[in-house]
Amino acid sequence: MIKVILDDNGVQEDIFILSDIDEKTMQDSLLGRKGIKVWVLGALVGKLNNCRKRLTNQWIPKLIADPKVTNIPADVDNLVLVIRKREDYKTREERDLIGQIQLLTEHKLSDEAEALQTQLDALIAARLAE
């Protein structure tokens, strides 16, 4: 059995458990446990690189066009932090909640929309407090 564990500020959560039979199946194409670990790491790093590229490609032109921005970090990690602090930035979860709120509002489901708005406000406040 192989576990992928997420450590969220000291709270560990198993996010994926590869059963023994799954591991044996993967060993048909990958070089044992080490091959599986390399493949998982490659998948995570590949997704991270795609997300970084998409985020920076989307936001660098916005930052350049914003007259209030006087400098843009050259370091990608610092750039991500600058972007996340902006009021006009929304995470995927925040964007999805906004879409759900709009849909509920259009269908006159204001109580449900209000509950999601409260959830959205909490998410944004937590992100801006990082």
Q: What is the pLDDT of residues 42-63, one digit of tens each?
A: 998 999 999 999 999 999 999 9
Q: Give CA–CA dist 81/77, Å, rounded.
A: 7
Domain segments of the chain as ranges: 1-70
Greatest CA separation for the chain: 57
Q: How confident is the model at residue 69 (pLDDT cuts 50, 70, 90)?
A: very high
What SS3 class is residue 21?
Answer: helix
Q: Is the pTM of this model over 0.85?
A: no
Question: What phi and psi, each to the nearest 5 degrees, are found at residue 50?
Answer: -65, -40
Q: What is the pLDDT of residues 72-107, one digit of tens each?
A: 999 999 999 999 999 999 999 999 999 999 999 999
